[in-house]
């Protein structure tokens, strides 16, 4: 039998016309019921067929006593029954014509030899029928294009362009939800579980070829086929960014990975070198993964690694320059011509260099007594120049800081601070609007550096328009350095 292309092969998994789920009941706290609820609440666009020999209704849906009584064909089977019953359910589903399955049930190879025997039997049944499946021992999958969310913990993401395979169901779904709260949208998600059939390598190959996927993300504990993974990654990164959070950096972590999914972590050093050669963007922790997701989802790829820094405070500029240097970015000296242009817009006491420090007194002022035009004017000159590839600018969020301080003051002073907040809010809004105009006009990455720990309310509007605000200069430099590195990688692969 001719092997199908992976995109064709997995169409029933990600684009089913109807879904059958076995294991749901009227007890809503059971995994099967929660998974069914996730499908219903997600508003899946096709047929939803719960199968339970007791019949009746579950969550308002008619329940079918067996596969023979289903009203039509079903492409995808979701299994949430005890491990000992899974093989029979798979046989029944295959007889009914399913094209793919998601086995959420646990109790297989992850628990020992007896579980491995049960798993091998399921693999045999599926292989004989040519049916691909995810799991077992997984959290489920998502496919936003058809609003399909069979997830046992019901953590449905925001729709978007990122597709994510995670060998940890809990870490994967939680991080997906955190990223969604930061405005990152997901196209597809797979908790790969024991990978008895579909492996991380298979799913990454699919995401690399999937036209709906714009960015690939993975959490990997260990690989079954390192050579195949390398080749898939090398092809994928020519078309779209591939971000990877890799576990197993230590002997202890590698041992834990093996006990979790039975996969081999391999040499972390070798993996790191191979990932770099394949153009994979490696994150060391969840924070780095999120920042890379935000950057590659929202910012344009810079043409180089030369950074222009604009700040109304010298200390912040020094910290940003330090962060850029540590990350391999360049903070170039400004040409005489660019300095002369800056002199037309900035007070005489500005730094006359990069970072462009307009000082606090130069930053707040203008024809109407208070604006931030010196910041945006100097930022525009940097963006317009062919000496600079991307920019870091100190953000303006005095009103948020004042709001956080109000509870510490007596009532009469609260009123005074409140008046200041009301007065400065429209000026800050104008500053943000000007940033959005500059981003669209010049098409270069702009990241803002915060002046306090929390991210202001206005950040969401900026991020929706492709400008990211970081609370620390190190995070800003990290994200820009990875983007510059990937841009350089793309140039080398197209030569």
In order of their start, the domains of the chain are 1-137 (3.40.50.720), 157-298 (3.40.50.261), 301-493 (3.40.50.261)
pLDDT surpasses 70 at 253: no
Residue reference for tokens 């820009």: 480
In tens, the pLDDT along 107-142 reads 999 999 999 999 999 999 999 999 999 999 999 999
Question: Could you tell me which of 77, 86, 79, 78 has the C-alpha nearest to residue 117?
Answer: 86
Asked which of 191-205, 337-351, 406-420 is least confident by mean pLDDT, the reply is: 406-420
Cβ(387)–Cβ(375) below 8 Å: no
The Cα 472–Cα 392 span in angstroms is: 11
Q: Mean of the per-residue pLDDT values for the chain?
A: 88
In tens, the pLDDT along 417-443 reads 666 667 767 777 888 899 999 999 999
Cis? peptide before 355, omega within 30° of 0: yes
Angle at 16 between CA 11 and CA 21, to 5 degrees: 125
Residue reference for tokens 């959420």: 104
In tens, the pLDDT along 231-244 reads 999 999 999 999 99
Token reading at 284: 């060391």
pLDDT surpasses 60 at 93: yes
What is the per-residue pLDDT for 365?
Answer: 53
In tens, the pLDDT along 450-476 reads 755 555 566 777 888 888 888 889 999
The DSSP output letter for 406 is G
- 400 CB burial (10 A radius; 0-12, 13-18, 19+): buried
What is the per-residue pLDDT for 400?
Answer: 59
The residue ranking higher by pLDDT, 128 or 257, is 128
pTM for this predicted structure: 0.88
pLDDT band (50, 70, 90) for residue 262: very low
pLDDT band (50, 70, 90) for residue 1: very low
In tens, the pLDDT along 388-417 reads 999 999 876 655 555 566 667 777 766 666
pLDDT surpasses 60 at 67: yes
How far out from the chain centre does Cα 66 lie?
Answer: 39
Q: Give the pLDDT mean for 140-160.
A: 96
What is the per-residue pLDDT for 493?
Answer: 86
pLDDT band (50, 70, 90) for residue 69: very high
pLDDT surpasses 50 at 298: yes
Residue 197, beta-bridge partner list? none
CA dist 452 to 188, 396, 461, Å? 35, 10, 18
The DSSP output letter for 64 is B
Angle at 211 between CA 209 and CA 214, to 5 degrees: 95
Token reading at 256: 């834990």
What is the per-residue pLDDT for 367?
Answer: 46
In tens, the pLDDT along 205-221 reads 999 999 999 999 999 98
Give the DSSP H/E element, type plus range, for residue 134: strand 132-134
């Amino acid at each position: 039998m001719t092997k199908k292309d992976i995109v064709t092969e997995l169409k029933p998994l990600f684009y089913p016309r109807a879904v059958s789920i076995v294991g749901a009941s009227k007890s809503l706290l059971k995994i099967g019921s929660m998974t069914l609820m996730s499908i219903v609440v997600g508003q899946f666009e096709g047929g939803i067929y719960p199968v339970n020999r007791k019949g009746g209704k579950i969550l308002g849906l008619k329940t079918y006593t067996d596969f023979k009584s289903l009203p039509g064909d079903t492409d995808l089977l979701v299994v949430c029954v005890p491990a000992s019953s899974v093989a029979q359910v798979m046989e029944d589903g295959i007889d009914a014509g399913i094209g793919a399955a998601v086995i959420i049930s646990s109790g297989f190879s992850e628990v020992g030899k007896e579980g491995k025997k049960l798993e091998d039997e399921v693999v045999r049944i599926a292989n004989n029928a040519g049916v691909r499946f995810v799991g077992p021992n997984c959290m489920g999958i998502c496919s936003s294009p058809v609003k399909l969310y069979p997830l046992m913990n019901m953590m449905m993401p925001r729709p978007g362009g990122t597709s994510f395979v995670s060998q940890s169901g809990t870490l994967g779904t939680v991080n997906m939800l955190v990223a969604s709260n930061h405005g990152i949208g997901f196209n597809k998600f797979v908790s790969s579980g024991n990978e008895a059939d579909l492996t991380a390598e298979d799913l990454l190959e699919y995401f690399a070829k999937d036209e709906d996927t714009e960015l690939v993300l993975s959490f990997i504990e260990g690989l079954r086929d390192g050579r195949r993974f390398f080749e898939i990654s090398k092809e994928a990164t020519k078309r779209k960014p591939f971000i990877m959070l890799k576990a197993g950096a230590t002997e202890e972590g590698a041992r834990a990975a093996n006990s979790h999914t039975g996969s081999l972590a391999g040499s972390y050093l070798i993996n790191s070198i191979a990932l770099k050669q394949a153009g994979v963007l490696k994150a060391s922790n969840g924070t780095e993964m999120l920042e890379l997701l935000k950057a590659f989802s929202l910012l344009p790829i810079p043409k180089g690694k030369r950074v222009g820094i604009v700040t109304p405070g010298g200390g912040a500029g020094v910290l940003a320059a330090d962060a850029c240097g540590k990350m391999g970015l360049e903070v170039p000296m400004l040409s005489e011509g660019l300095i002369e242009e800056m002199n037309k817009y900035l007070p005489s006491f500005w730094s006359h260099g990069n970072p462009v420090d307009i000082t606090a007194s130069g930053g707040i002022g203008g024809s109407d007594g208070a604006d931030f035009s010196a910041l945006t004017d100097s930022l525009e000159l940097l963006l317009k120049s062919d000496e600079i590839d991307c920019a870091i600018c100190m953000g303006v969020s005095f009103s948020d800081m004042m709001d956080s301080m109000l509870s510490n003051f007596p009532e009469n002073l609260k009123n005074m601070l409140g008046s200041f907040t009301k007065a400065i809010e429209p000026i800050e809004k104008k500053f943000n609007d000007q940033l959005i105009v500059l981003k669209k006009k010049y098409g270069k990455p702009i990241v803002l550096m915060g002046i306090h720990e929390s991210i202001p309310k206005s950040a969401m509007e900026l991020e929706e328009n492709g400008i990211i605000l970081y609370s620390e200069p190190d995070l800003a430099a990290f994200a820009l350095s990875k983007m510059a590195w990937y841009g350089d990688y793309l140039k080398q692969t197209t030569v």
